[in-house]
Amino acid sequence: MFRRAFWFTTGAAAGVWATAKVQRKLRSLAPDALAVRAADKAVVTGHRLKDFALDVRAGMAQRESELNDALGLEASVDADHPELPGQTRRGELGPVHPQGRTHPYKRNEDH
């Protein structure tokens, strides 16, 4: 009699445990839970990419400084208008579009 009660209780406990585990898994695979998990992973990935980009930018600035020191170049960039060599100013490009885009050619809108 005790043997039957033991195995009945063990079976009932195993059934409750398995049911709870399956229910947890089903809740974790629900569309809402999957969307939240995907959004969280996207945010984490975005932060990692941002950190990587900042590290690369800092490394580039450090290396540029090292190269300028090694070549004996001085960084004499105008603070108001930093330009790359060979870069032209906006006025030299031609007419300016009302939304800020430049057009190096004249467009005839009447055709």
pLDDT in tens, 21-52: 999 999 988 999 999 999 999 999 999 999 99
pLDDT in tens, 98-110: 555 555 555 555 5
pLDDT in tens, 46-70: 999 999 999 999 999 999 999 999 9
> Could you tell me the pLDDT band of residue 1, with boundaries at 50, 70 and 90?
confident
The number of residues making up the chain comes to 111
Q: Tell how far CA 89 is from the center of its chain.
A: 32
